[in-house]
Amino acid sequence: MKLLLELLTLCLLSVAARAAECHGKPSPDAKPNLNPIYTDPPRFVKSVKNGMLFLTGDGEDVIPIVHVWGSPYEMGYAHGQLMKEKAQELVHDVWEYMKLQVEQGINGTIDIFPGWFLSDIANIGLEAALDLETDVTKPYTGSYFYEELKGLADGSGAPYKTIERIHMIGELTKGACSMFGANESAVPAGGGLLQLRALDWNVDGPFKNFPQVTVYHPNDTKYGHAFANIGFTGWIGSITGFSSQLLAISEIGVSFPDETFGHESRFGVPFTYILRDILQFDKTLEDAVTRLSTAHRTCNLILGVGDAKATQFRGVEYSAATADFFTWDNLRPEADWHPRIKDIVYWGMDWLCPGYNEVLAAQLNKYHGNLTAEITIQEIVPIVQTGDLHIAVYDLTKGLVYISYAKGESETGPLYAYDRTFIEVKTADLFNVTPPGLV
């Protein structure tokens, strides 16, 4: 008990804001992505009682689309049944990868974990440290997450505790990502809202081998409405996705905050769960703003929420201490390398990251007034060199989403998602699928 109290006291201490900034920048030799966009509809593969599997894409750029219906447990079980072998592989590979990363963190080879987590591991071991993290976040987490995880474990045969533990990884590591939301004068007339979510994270890890879009069709309104989770096999938290209510999410891990972020905390809802709650339950941008404002928040992040119905986007400076919301005309940080651009909210790679923000701003200014999904794919993400693991370009006003993933271990071609083929997905193809048994 004394050790637990010491660990919990440690995590309540304020985190001093660092004056450092990231020093990376895109290569000046970056080239546009001129690959044709894949536009054919998804292909049916198989079904189970509460689920259906489709594939989209061609050649080595193929993404499984898993549809699940029912209660949280039933949806998890169907997911596990349809993707049994892949789910088992992901759970095993991510767990082994986490153990290796932790070993390197303790040895000082890499610096991606918070100090309190490494202290936990040194005192009580990795499994117990992750179980402690689950315990301190569980009071703030909907029970339906754990019901779905149990269904996933039962359907796939993967060990439940390991699945539960690897779902804490988002709270413990920092990814460098980019986003923007563009509307009104920044897009062609009638263009509505255009939104980018570029994930830069762990291309040396196993995640690139398990691309998946999971489409949820809850059987009861108490479990929300239909939404699509763009992520990985066996992973139920949300880092990328959109809903049948035309809301979409973006996210950036913050390794270089300023003093405005204040402190972080372990006591709150994991951010991958609160982002999923936005997709699953919220109907408007205002709903999402209220959720983020009133939540028990945890780590430093930049979030983005777009509402294509209202053609509005909000960026969010997010931490345990603050939730500040931005449109283009109050955008922070204020710096010459992060200029305000009319009707565009954007960040490149981090909060304090001049090299990437300068190039992202230059490309957004260059195409201001003509920003489209095609321009974003061809001239924004490959030139900024952001979105190495996966990318979603949301054009929900037109009912379209464009997705790309990094090269898997057995694949050929460019490594990074921003250089590979993008796949067009029509939202109507996802949310209007007839459930199994009624086909």
CATH code of 388's domain: 3.60.60.10
Tokens linked to 266: 């372990």
- What integer pLDDT is reported at residue 103 of this predicted model? 66
**Residue bearing tokens 């983005």:** 304
Per-residue pLDDT band for 3 (boundaries 50, 70, 90) equals very low
CA 148 to chain centre: 19
Q: What residue numbers bound the domain in which 377 lies?
A: 175-209+240-431
Other C-beta atoms lying within 10 Å of the C-beta of residue 115? 12
pLDDT digits (tens, 9 = 90+) for 306-347: 999 999 999 999 999 999 999 999 999 999 999 999 999 999
Cβ–Cβ under 8 Å, residues 238 and 387: no
Please report whether residue 244 resides in a domain.
Answer: yes
Exposed, middle or buried: residue 324 (CB in 10 Å: 0-12, 13-18, 19+)? middle
Are 274 and 295 in contact by the 8 Å Cβ rule? The answer is: yes
How many structural domains is the chain composed of?
Answer: 1
Per-residue pLDDT tens digits for 179-191: 999 999 999 998 8
Complete DSSP assignment for 61-104: EEEEEEEEEESHHHHHHHHHHHTHHHHHHHHHHHHHHHHHHHHH
Q: Which residue has the tokens 């004068």?
A: 185
- Evaluate whether 268 touches 296 at the Cβ level (below 8 Å): yes
391 within a domain of the structure (yes/no):
yes
- Give the pLDDT confidence score for residue 265 in this predicted structure: 87
- Please state which of the ranges 199-203, 231-235, 394-398 shows the lowest mean pLDDT: 199-203
Residue 425 one-letter amino acid: V
Residue 366's nearest CA partner among 158, 333, 108, 358 is 358
> CA distances (Å), 397 to each of 34, 373, 400, in order?
24, 11, 8
For 244-273, the pLDDT digits (tens) are 999 999 999 999 999 999 999 888 999 999
Asked if the structure places residue 301 within a domain, the reply is yes
DSSP 3-state of 380: helix
What's the mean per-residue pLDDT of the chain? 90
Structure confidence at residue 131 (pLDDT): 83
Secondary structure (3-state) at 415:
coil
Q: Is residue 274 part of a domain?
A: yes
Side chain identity at 155, as an amino acid letter?
A: G
Kind of pairing between the strands at 211-218 and 227-232: antiparallel
Task: Return the half-sphere exposure (C-beta side, CA atoms, 13 A cut-off) of residue 383.
Answer: 18
In a domain, 113, yes or no: no
Question: Would you say 202 and 388 are in contact if contact means Cβ atoms under 8 Å apart?
Answer: no
Residue 360 belongs to some domain of the structure: yes
The H or E element containing residue 332 is: none
| Nearest of 298, 63, 343 to residue 193 by alpha carbon | 343
Q: 355 in a domain, yes or no?
A: yes
- Chain segment 382-428, per-residue pLDDT in tens: 999 999 999 999 999 999 999 999 999 999 999 999 999 999 999 99
Which segments of 142-297 are extended strands (E)?
178-182, 194-199, 211-218, 227-232, 241-243, 247-253
Per the domain annotation, does 364 fall within a domain? yes
Place of tokens 């109050």: 330
- 345/332 Cα distance (integer angstroms): 9
